[in-house]
Structure 1
């Protein structure tokens, strides 16, 4: 039986459209049908533009050749990212009807590459910890994580093949893990963030959710990056259990060890990389930098609409008020030392294999989960990819995190394809 269009990976859909075996309009309609069937349960969307998506698809179907690497691919755009015609609410009542009137730079680039904006996906309030309305499609009683909850759930539930995310602590990799999809957080600064509502400008990084690692190469190509050549050898992998290994669920620890054994059996050279003990301060460092910069990002909202801000965001801002210049200087020093440690690691390893989250998505919708295994990588700006691998004791997805050298994103994508192939 042929795969339904909305269940295709972006790569497969692009290929079929190039071969004239699939129309962009049919893919859009299949996604809209899925949304109609499931949105009442999953609640992944803040706003939809079905008529605009159909018009765009019809225009693309008239083209003799694909206009770019994402020709005809529907997008779920996280609702802190500006779009020209749809509201950008940032998950806050303050901006409930706010229409920017201009696409963010990151949206413009993908639209120029042939993509179709299907709608705005739910974000937590200002991409923070206050949960939105989205449910985990694998079990509606469990969190989809945050802050990129809607995009991750939409891709996982076959509502869209590609979804935008942003990460300031763990808002791409953790939702990818909890929803069982491939998630990519690029090297800090890899994409233009103009038109994206900032949380902490020194940390905010664009990311994406897709269904297979090869889809990330298409997205990177849309941003002007050349795919890395397929690996001609097996990778050198550093198994990074981190300093917080005992805080991961037992099933997750077992799963990561199983992945390491399987990759070693496939020819990879897998050795332990012991995270330096002085990295224990990176969690506090990231939180201090994030909360301090949040006080700058949300100064206007805090002054004018404090009654419309959640208790959790107000708590972050109060924490940021107390961060001193000396503490920010300490953050900088810790980052520099950790980057030096990683520079040595990259002499021995192509990438690190680490936990993406503590384990399966927790029950309940009020807590989006702990970004424990993401904070320090975000602080250091490294590219990270979450790959789904197996399920846990409650039948929910488990995931692996691949971490690569700064600005080596395309090679990390190539290694992710290798890992995906040998773990399938």
Structure 2
């Protein structure tokens, strides 16, 4: 029995449209039907542009040739990313009715490649830790993670094939893991972030949620990159338990080990890589950089609307106030040293295999989960991909995380396709 269009991956939908077996309008309608059925439980969306999406789909269906690699694919746009006609609320009452009047650069990029903006997906407050209204579609009593909660949940619940995310700490990889979808955080600076609300300028990175690793190749193609094919040779994989291995749930530690054995059985050369003890302070270094830079970007909101900021954000900004110039310099020095350590690692391994999160999505909606397995990679700016693999004791998704050298995103996507085929 053929899949309903909303359940297709972007790659599958593109193939069907190229074969004249699917119209963009039919895909949009199937997504809207799913949203109507499930949004009352999942709460993934802040705003929808159903009529705009329908008009765009009809226009694309009249084209003799595809506009680009994402022709006819609906998108969920995280609500810290500006869109021309829909409000960009940033998950805050301060911006409840704010309309930017122009699309962010990343939205323009994918629209020019043929994509269709379906609506704005829920974000935590300013992409921080204060949770939004979204529920995990696998169990509505559990968090979807944050801050890209709505996009991850919408892709997981088959409301849309692709969703935008951003990561300053763990805001793409962690919700990807919690919702059981493919999640990609690019090399820092890989995409123009003009039109995205800044949290920490030296950390904020654009990412995406999809159903398959191959869908990431379509996104990269929309940015003008030639997707790399999965290599013919097996990869050299570094099993990186990290210095915080004991903070992963026992079942998740076991799952990472199972993934490593599965890849080894598939031909990969898997060896342990011990993270240097000198990396221990990177968690603190990341937090100092993040909170200090946030104080620089949220000065106007603090000055004019302090009563509309959550207690959590207020406390985080107060931490940033206390970060000294010497502490910030030390954080940047530790980052440089860690990157030097990694340079030698990439002579031995094609990518590292590590936890994406501590375990399953925690119960409750007020806490979006611990980014401890994401912070240091975000600080270092490396490209990362989370791939779903198995489920935990409560039936919620688990994932593995792949990490690769800076600016090797296309090669990482290719390796992710190789890994996905072995873990499926």
TM-score with structure 2 setting the length: 1.00
The match for 2:120 is 120
Alignment of 1:247-286 (within 5 A): 247-286=247-286
How far apart in 1 are the matches of 2:377 and 2:3? 37
Alpha-carbon shift at residue 38 of structure 1 (Å): 0.1
The match for 1:25 is 25
Q: Deviations over 1:149-207 (max 9, x none)?
A: 00000000000000000000000000000000000000000000000000000000000
Alpha-carbon shift at residue 232 of structure 1 (Å): 1.3
The match for 1:170 is 170
The match for 2:305 is 305
In the alignment, does 2:319 pair up with 1:328? no
How far apart in 2 are the matches of 1:173 and 1:405? 17
How far apart in 1 are the matches of 2:332 and 2:37? 49
Secondary structure (helix, strand or coil) at the match of 2:98 reads coil
The match for 1:343 is 343
Alignment of 1:69-80 (within 5 A): 69-80=69-80
How far apart in 2 are the matches of 1:212 and 1:159? 15
Secondary structure (helix, strand or coil) at the match of 1:241 reads coil
In the alignment, does 2:207 pair up with 1:198? no
Q: Deviations over 1:297-350 (max 9, x none)?
A: 110000000000000000010000000110111011101110011000000000
Secondary structure (helix, strand or coil) at the match of 2:281 reads helix
Runs of 4+ with deviation above 3 angstroms: none
Q: Deviations over 1:249-271 (max 9, x none)?
A: 00100000000001001100000
How far apart in 1 are the matches of 2:215 and 2:422? 17
Moved more, 176-185 or 228-237: 228-237
The match for 2:381 is 381
How far apart in 2 are the matches of 1:77 and 1:200? 20
How far apart in 1 are the matches of 2:105 and 2:331? 30
How far apart in 2 are the matches of 1:243 and 1:354? 11
* Equivalent residues, number: 424
The match for 2:419 is 419
The match for 2:10 is 10
How far apart in 2 are the matches of 1:128 and 1:389? 27
In the alignment, does 2:394 pair up with 1:371? no
Alpha-carbon shift at residue 392 of structure 1 (Å): 0.3
The match for 1:68 is 68
In the alignment, does 2:129 pair up with 1:136? no
The match for 1:85 is 85
The match for 2:318 is 318
Secondary structure (helix, strand or coil) at the match of 1:38 reads helix
Alpha-carbon shift at residue 230 of structure 1 (Å): 2.4
Secondary structure (helix, strand or coil) at the match of 1:64 reads coil
The match for 2:226 is 226
The match for 1:44 is 44
Alpha-carbon shift at residue 226 of structure 1 (Å): 1.0
How far apart in 2 are the matches of 1:38 and 1:296? 39
The match for 2:110 is 110
The match for 1:97 is 97
How far apart in 2 are the matches of 1:167 and 1:336? 20
How far apart in 2 are the matches of 1:230 and 1:92? 42
Q: Deviations over 1:79-106 (max 9, x none)?
A: 0000000000000000001000100000
Task: Give the superposed CA RMSD.
Answer: 0.4
How far apart in 2 are the matches of 1:157 and 1:145? 14
How far apart in 1 are the matches of 2:263 and 2:120? 38
Alpha-carbon shift at residue 18 of structure 1 (Å): 1.2
TM-score with structure 1 setting the length: 1.00
Alpha-carbon shift at residue 33 of structure 1 (Å): 0.1
How far apart in 2 are the matches of 1:278 and 1:226? 37
How far apart in 2 are the matches of 1:45 and 1:62? 29
Q: Deviations over 1:208-241 (max 9, x none)?
A: 0000000000000001111113201000000000
The match for 2:213 is 213
Alpha-carbon shift at residue 413 of structure 1 (Å): 0.2
The match for 1:159 is 159
Alpha-carbon shift at residue 409 of structure 1 (Å): 0.2
The match for 1:289 is 289
How far apart in 2 are the matches of 1:297 and 1:193? 15
Secondary structure (helix, strand or coil) at the match of 1:208 reads strand
How far apart in 2 are the matches of 1:137 and 1:227? 31
Alpha-carbon shift at residue 63 of structure 1 (Å): 0.3
Q: Which structure 1 segments of 5+ residues have no match?
A: none
